[in-house]
Amino acid sequence: MFEAIERVPGDAILGLIQAFKDDPNPDKVDLGVGVYRDEDGSTPIMRAVKAAEQRLVDTEATKAYIGSHGDPDYGRHVLETLLGTDSAVLADNRASATQSPGGTGALRLAADFIAAQLPGKSIWLSDPTWPNHKGVFGAAGLDMQSYPYVDADNRLDFDGMLAALKQIPQGDVVLLHACCHNPTGFDLSAEQWQQVLSVVQERELLPLVDFAYQGFGDGLEADAYGVRLLAEHLDEMLITQSCSKNFGIYRERTGCFIAIAKDAEDMADVRSQLAITARENYSNPPAHGSAIVATIFESEELTAMWREELDEMRSRINNLRSDFVKALAPHGLDQRFAHVADQRGMFSFTGLQPEHVEALRDRHSIYMVKSGRANVAGLNRANLDYVCNAIADVVK
Ligand code: PLP
Ligand code: TYF
């Protein structure tokens, strides 16, 4: 029966991991997959996470199921971190948090929720977006459409985006990246978020905000500006959240799907449906990651430690962005790559073309995604000049 099954190519981003591993060049540089790296090129366990795990070894009393919505303490802390402790939405009991296996699991819950409860609604994605958005929404059978996000000169195409949003049919879902847009690194300003809000209100659209990098752009509070603005002014919205990056617990699969309804009554109805969706997909979410996050938030000491480490990661990335542009100045390329210093988060749409990316890999063992997306965190003091020399070599 299996003879007719065709082989398909694997995920292009994950494929880079193996290609990098197999490359014998000692000078090779990995700017591919989106995991944070420190100055030594490693992705260490955060100190606050290690300390929380140590506490859990001593205090955890059961491994019994945690229920389809997951750990309520985790959900509450995530909601407060996203929406702010003073959020009226929280005071009015209008937000429901369902813990999920990572941000990807939250996106699948969102997709299944839309497919089952809002039949006929399309989902609008930025062009470009994280490739797995299409994977997840397509697997759930949603109709997908796109709005422009980057222009031909590799700049944020906000006018194009807004014009497209104004044409979206009433009630459709529009996916927005809260911050640290993957793959481009181009984020909306406060004023641009306000304009998006106006269009969403005018067209009566349902925003789905994907929030996978809180704290990686300009800080925990600043990065939540857009999400909080929408939550403050809209009756209904959806949010997918991930702790993979900001707690560095990628493989623990820790995320959350949040639905905001117009009142507590509607919220309870939606919540009842989400329990079924979760149950039919995987029944209960994994508990270790959420226990780590809840333990950190329950302790003032661990929360302070975590915030400090998150600040360190963000500063390192933002300093690398400006160092990169400075290191390109001797090659006369600082103007051409000036946008890298203004982008935010782990990723940069460098503007390098597929042939440049190929030449960087073949001639210099520097790995990045074909679209020209580079993981800025893969740079460090030891490889910065090597990378800049190589870029100068391939673009000239
Ligand atoms: N959304 C975006 C935009 C992402 O970049 C990622 C991860 O790279 C995710 C969601 C999912 O993250 P995870 O499932 O690892 O928590
Ligand atoms: O770099 C990226 O955008 C990757 C990150 O299970 C990633 O897609 C890798 C594996 C995974 C989820 C996200």
Supply the residue whose CA is at minimum distance from atom 4 of ligand 1: 212
Q: Are 126 and 177 in contact (CB under 8 A)?
A: yes
pLDDT above 90: residue 11: no
Supply the residue whose CA is at minimum distance from atom 3 of ligand 2: 34
Q: How confident is the model at residue 63 (pLDDT cuts 50, 70, 90)?
A: very high
| Residue of 132, 244, 249 to test ligand 2 pocket, by largest number of atoms within 8 Å of CB | 132
Which atom of ligand 1 is nearest the CA belonging to 210?
A: 1
ipTM: 0.94
Q: What's phi and psi for 277, nearest 5 deg?
A: -55, -45
pLDDT at 272: 98
Q: How confident is the model at residue 10 (pLDDT cuts 50, 70, 90)?
A: confident
Identity of residue 143: D
Range of lowest pLDDT (7-21, 179-193, 282-296, 305-319): 7-21
How many angstroms separate the CA atoms of 95 and 302, rounded?
26
Tokens of 165: 């949003």
Q: pLDDT for 76-134, tens place per residue?
A: 999 999 999 999 999 999 999 999 999 999 999 999 999 999 999 999 999 999 999 99
How many angstroms separate the CA atoms of 321 and 250, rounded?
24
Q: pLDDT for 332-353, tens place per residue?
A: 999 999 999 999 999 999 999 9
Tokens of 215: 């704290």
pLDDT at 351: 96
- Which residues, listed in sequence order, are joined to residue 96 by a DSSP beta bridge? 259
How many angstroms separate the CA atoms of 372 and 364, rounded?
15
CA-closest candidate to residue 210, choices 117, 290, 127, 103 = 103
pLDDT above 90: residue 12: no
Tokens of 59: 């205090």
pLDDT above 90: residue 148: yes
Tokens of 30: 């990995």
pLDDT above 90: residue 196: yes
Q: Hunting for tokens 């893969």 — which residue is that? A: 378
Q: pLDDT for 219-276, tens place per residue?
A: 999 999 999 999 999 999 999 999 999 999 999 999 999 999 999 999 999 999 999 9
How many angstroms separate the CA atoms of 286 and 68, rounded?
10
H or E element in which residue 237 lies: strand 237-242
Tokens of 88: 């009226």
- What mean pLDDT comes out for the span 139-160? 97
Q: pLDDT for 165-180, tens place per residue?
A: 999 999 999 999 999 9
pTM of the model: 0.97
Q: How confident is the model at residue 396 (pLDDT cuts 50, 70, 90)?
A: confident
> Minimum-distance ligand to the CA of 345?
1
- What mean pLDDT comes out for the span 44-71? 97
Domains annotated for the chain, with CATH where assigned, are 2-45+301-395 (3.90.1150.10), 65-298 (3.40.640.10)
How many angstroms separate the CA atoms of 224 and 231, rounded?
10
Q: pLDDT for 157-167, tens place per residue?
A: 999 999 999 99
- What mean pLDDT comes out for the span 7-15? 88
How many angstroms separate the CA atoms of 64 and 130, rounded?
35
- For ligand 2, whether the C-beta of 13 sits within 6 Å is yes
Strands (E) in 52-143, as ranges, are: 95-100, 123-127
pLDDT above 90: residue 14: no
Q: Are 355 and 396 in contact (CB under 8 A)?
A: no
User: What is the chain's mean pLDDT, rounded?
Assistant: 97
Q: Are 294 and 71 in contact (CB under 8 A)?
A: yes
Say how many Å lie between the CA of residue 131 and the centre of ligand 2. 9
Q: How confident is the model at residue 195 (pLDDT cuts 50, 70, 90)?
A: very high
Say how many Å lie between the CA of residue 106 and the centre of ligand 1. 10
Name the DSSP letter for residue 284: S
How many angstroms separate the CA atoms of 25 and 105, rounded?
37
Q: Hunting for tokens 């493989």 — which residue is that? A: 251
Say how many Å lie between the CA of residue 353 and the centre of ligand 2. 22
Q: How confident is the model at residue 312 (pLDDT cuts 50, 70, 90)?
A: very high
Chain Cα centroid distance, residue 357 = 23
- What mean pLDDT comes out for the span 12-36? 94
User: 40: buried, middle or exposed (CB in 10 Å: 19+, 13-18, 0-12)?
Assistant: exposed
